Copies of this chain bind each other. A is one copy, B any other.
Amino acid sequence: MQPENCPENSQLYRFLAENGMINVGSYGFPAAMQTLCTSSSTSYHNSNYHFESSVITDMTPQDRALAALKNHKEAEKRRRERINSHLDKLRDLLPCNSKTDKASLLAKVVQRVRELKQQTSELPGLETFPSETDEVTVLSGEYSSDGQLIFKASLCCEDRSDLMPDLIEILKSLHLKTLKAEMVTLGGRIRNVLIIAADKDHSVESVHFLQNALKSLLERSNSTERSKRRRVLDRKLIIQ
């Protein structure tokens, strides 16, 4: 807890304060008590203030504006704190001391994630079964003799019945041909590994588009509630 940083120093604040808004501190909503959540950073429950009608009706437009401003200010502060707390966690996780730059820290994180991603993808046997974490991997691939770009795409997520139609639709819309497909499900999760051929004309863009499309596909999977997670038969299917 650092001492309050005296926003009264601000010219604008002084300007407003001198115009008769004295008790700035008494207005405004209480900042929603933020409970520490493990990872997802977003627990904005209990924004339930019950205030009497008189409080509302007594608010002049100026008061409302000031209250909104204060609210906004505090919300922004909470947002910063949330982001910074995650950055601190990352500082703990990576080999760097506590006073490294935000930018350098993030650079290290990028590097580390790339490395780890590569390491795990190189591990034999781990790739065949679906993992517990969602994943989209699109490797750069090579050009075949006739100029087509051949590359590998992998998608690991919760299984759902309309996943394959969506996937097929995506591939069709991007004019991508599936040369080989490997599909493994285990415990309600699925891993798809596709070998794909892209037309020579827009091959690079297609790869990038595909990556984004797969990610949004995956987001859609996540937005559907977990409670619907039906138990499906584990199956392994290889088309080639």
- Which one of A91-99, A199-207, A226-234 is at the B interface? A91-99
Most-contacted residue by chain B among A86, A98, A117 (CB, 10 A)? A86
A83 within 8 A of B: yes
Docked complex Cα distance between A113 and B113 (Å): 7
Partner of A113, one of B103, B112, B157: B112
When all copies of this chain in the complex are counted, the total is: 2
Encoded as 1 (CB less than 8 Å from any B CB) or 0, chain A from 196 to 240 comes to: 000000000000000110011011000000000000000000000
Contact (Cβ within 8 A) A93 B117: yes
Interface residues in A, total, Cβ within 8 A: 49
Docked complex Cα distance between A96 and B39 (Å): 16
Most-contacted residue by chain B among A106, A109, A211 (CB, 10 A)? A106
Contact (Cβ within 8 A) A107 B86: yes
- Which one of A50-58, A64-72, A133-141, A174-182 is at the B interface? A133-141
Contact (Cβ within 8 A) B109 A215: no
- Select from chain B the residue with minimum beta-carbon distance to A86: B106
CB contact list, A79-105 vs B, under 8 A: 79, 82-83, 86-87, 89-90, 92-98, 101-104
- Select from chain B the residue with minimum beta-carbon distance to A98: B212
A128 within 8 A of B: no
Measured between beta carbons, the chain B residues less than 8 angstroms from A216 are 97
Given known pairs A110-B93, A111-B39, the reply for A102 and B120 (CB within 8 Å) is no
Contact (Cβ within 8 A) B109 A109: yes
